[in-house]
Structure 1
Amino acid sequence: MRRLEVINGAGGRRRWSADEKAGIVAETLEPGAVVSEVARRHGLTPQQVFTWRREARRATLADVVEGDDRPAFVPAVLEVPPPSEPKKPRRRRAPAPRARRSAAPIELEIGGVVVRIGPGADAATVAAVIAALRTTS
């Protein structure tokens, strides 16, 4: 005799509601939580849970910046300094160490307020400042 397995019910992919996903993601953010354990408990792979976490982070950042999921673009204004007189050649110095070099800052003007963003600025902080400026202008 051969063994035959009968599967009842709907097959295929499971559908998770936004509330269920949010609950599972929230479990992974608790102190001491291990993503693979949470995923196993819910019958998921850790990769799926990490994807949901990434999507939640992007959605949160989009809400802070724009208020919806569409990307926002602002016009960029470049100011080119006028050409200066040729300088006399100088001796070359050794290049400055990377830590001391400063990158050109990003400058935003929103509602008459100018914000300069230097290198190493935290994206979440910058997004919060932009959102605050937009609500006041």
Structure 2
Amino acid sequence: MDVDLDVPTAGYAGRLEVLEGPTGRRVRSEAERTRIAAESLMPGVQVAAVARKHGATRWQVYDWRRRLRQGQLALPESMAPMFAQLMVDDSSVPQRRMRPSKSTPAKVEIV
């Protein structure tokens, strides 16, 4: 079986151009993957928008989120969830004795 590629086999091969630069494949640090995954978990944020913003695919972001939930990626201290201290102010409530009643609902005001 003979194959004819319609090009000369001996001699000049043509012009070869070498392009340098990024290959399209990015290597991200664990901190960067964690930051992107945490950003995608914020309320009202779309995963596709976060992925597009950071030049990643949705599937990468979903994978990083899964790893974050499973504890394979750890949030840095600066991004760890913070809780506000609860302070009870009794000064504005008049002091009176009331019998506990099932019909009186508890009232909590968060400022």
- With normalisation by structure 2, the TM-score equals 0.45
- With normalisation by structure 1, the TM-score equals 0.37
Bigger radius of gyration among the two: 2
Q: Which has the higher strand share?
A: 1
Q: Which has the higher helix share?
A: 1
Higher relative contact order (CA 8 A, sep 6+): 2
